[in-house]
Structure 1
Amino acid sequence: MKLLIVEDEPELTASLLSHLQDQQYVCEVATTFAEAEEKLLLFEYDCVLLDLTLPGGDGLELLRQLQARQQADGVIITSSRDALDDRITGLRLGADDYLPKPFHLSELSARIAALVRRRRFNGSNLVQAGPLTVDVLARQATVRGQPLLLTRSEYDLLLLLLANQNRVVMKSTIAEHISGDMAEHFNSYEPVYTHVKNLKRKLSELGIGDSLRTVYGLGYRFELPSA
């Protein structure tokens, strides 16, 4: 899962990064309005943690831009501006949640997990695809009860494919999803090929390797074989 932290307080940013990276999220940071505006224009995120008071602009304007583009990024406002008007405006502009500062990191984690479940998997902790089961909250996968042992990148790739089951996921989308804005510095898609190859091998060892299909020239699709 890929997150954008829009926050200009250095100590809080460091705490958020440490906590969320420990939970295996891919995290990017924007510390000004202009930096956040650019990242939101160029990339998509599973969740944006958005402070409203930013150098160079108001976070509510970023929400207006997302709404105007009909961009599907989930947004949790994290702000010391706890006025009712700001809450109502933020939610009307498409924010999914509003968490006033100061907040506990454990509560933030729970709200991020809830947002991702709600947006991608209809609120369920368990994602089922034939014999494959993924516990989104525990970040664990099994096939017919057998553990599917994955690296962080392989797990994120699998979840991305499941969220887009039966649809092609472009190689560029996979690169951004598992590597964040570092993907733009790749000279090739070799890291994507490596993660896909390793995931397919592990799925094959448990008998469902045919579910991960290559769409040549475009990307990959997770599709259960016809019975």
Structure 2
Amino acid sequence: MKLLVIEDEADLASSITGYLADYTCETAGTFAEALEKIEQHEYDCILLDIMLPGGDGIRVLEEFKKLNRQDGIIIISARNALEDKVKGLKKGADDYIAKPFHLSELAARIHSVIRRKNFSNADVITQHELSIDLLSKKLEVHQKEVPLTKKEFELLLYFLGNKNRVISKSALAEHLSGDIADMMDSHAFVYAHIKNLRKKLTDAGYGNYLKNVYGTGYKWED
């Protein structure tokens, strides 16, 4: 799962990304950086500070909605006035949390938004013989646990959240590594993670839902 933390307080941004180490996190510290990120990349959830150098976070939200995107958005702000909350939610944010906040609460809200957006508000995702527990990050196939690495689990969720859609190798690389994907010479690391995930699923007896799309990428078929 990939997050964007739009926050100009460097220490707070660092604390958030450190606490959310299970996610692939990118950051933006200014209005201009935030716009650039949302125009070029997709995220499972965006944490958006209202007060940013160079512009208002609400304007970022407005520009985001013009793109007709479905990424989850949580506003984080020191402004706790009711009108600020109402304005942000009316503009399309999914949640609002006021500073200071406990990182554990923020993590719970992120989980809730992603679960609602991608997995119909379920904590346990099932597809035939597969069962994925989002909270414990465990996969079972035919009621037997299949151990996955962090990246393999991320890949599996990404495929399940985009069932029946062709996903390019570039999109997979970006999802797994964020900004540094553009700096890599090849997609070898993507192939390696997919190969390992597919072998574990095949050995466990899953229904061969992960398909290669020649010259393009991959598709998870239901």
Q: How many residues align?
A: 222
- Cα distance in 2 for residues equivalent to 1:10 and 1:170: 33
Query: TM-score w.r.t. structure 1 length?
Result: 0.95
Q: Does 1:20 align with 2:17?
A: no
- Cα distance in 1 for residues equivalent to 2:70 and 2:163: 17
1:122 Cα deviation after fit: 0.6
1:201–1:209 contact (8 Å) kept in structure 2: no
1:159 Cα deviation after fit: 0.3
The worse-fitting range, judged by mean Cα deviation, of 131-140 and 81-90 is 81-90
Q: Does 1:33 align with 2:19?
A: no
1:19 Cα deviation after fit: 0.4
Alignment of 1:201-212 (within 5 A): 201-208=199-206, 210-212=208-210
Q: Which amino acid aligns with 1:8?
A: D
Q: Which amino acid aligns with 1:166?
A: N
- Cα distance in 2 for residues equivalent to 1:40 and 1:98: 19
- Cα distance in 1 for residues equivalent to 2:152 and 2:212: 16
Residues 74-115 of structure 1: CA deviation (Å, up to 9, x unaligned)? 100010011222111111111000000011111101100000
Q: Does 1:180 align with 2:178?
A: yes
- Aligned residue for 2:111, secondary structure, equals helix
1:7–1:31 contact (8 Å) kept in structure 2: yes
2:110: which partner in 1?
A: 112
- Aligned residue for 1:82, secondary structure, equals coil
Q: Which amino acid aligns with 2:150?
A: R
- Cα distance in 2 for residues equivalent to 1:132 and 1:180: 28
- Cα distance in 1 for residues equivalent to 2:70 and 2:46: 11
- Aligned residue for 1:44, secondary structure, equals coil
Q: Which amino acid aligns with 2:204?
A: L
1:65: which partner in 2?
A: 63
1:3–1:28 contact (8 Å) kept in structure 2: yes
- Cα distance in 2 for residues equivalent to 1:169 and 1:127: 20
Q: Does 1:2 align with 2:8?
A: no
- Aligned residue for 2:20, secondary structure, equals helix
1:223 Cα deviation after fit: 2.0
Q: Which amino acid aligns with 2:176?
A: I
1:47–1:73 contact (8 Å) kept in structure 2: yes
Work out which of the residue numbers 212, 215, 227 in structure 1 matches 2:213.
Answer: 215
2:140: which partner in 1?
A: 142
| Structure 1 runs of 4+ with >4 Å offset | none
Q: Which amino acid aligns with 1:137?
A: L
1:166 Cα deviation after fit: 2.1
- Cα distance in 1 for residues equivalent to 2:125 and 2:203: 20
Residues 95-152 of structure 1: CA deviation (Å, up to 9, x unaligned)? 0000000111111011000001100011000111110110112111110111111111
1:11 Cα deviation after fit: 1.8
- Aligned residue for 1:63, secondary structure, equals helix
Q: Which amino acid aligns with 2:9?
A: E
Residues 175-210 of structure 1: CA deviation (Å, up to 9, x unaligned)? 111111111112111111111111101111101262
1:200–1:212 contact (8 Å) kept in structure 2: yes
Alignment of 1:121-132 (within 5 A): 121-132=119-130
Residues 36-64 of structure 1: CA deviation (Å, up to 9, x unaligned)? 11111100000001101011111000000
- Cα distance in 1 for residues equivalent to 2:205 and 2:152: 17
Alignment of 1:181-196 (within 5 A): 181-196=179-194
Between the two proteins, what is the percent identity of the paired residues?
Answer: 48
- Aligned residue for 1:220, secondary structure, equals strand
Alignment of 1:81-92 (within 5 A): 81-92=79-90
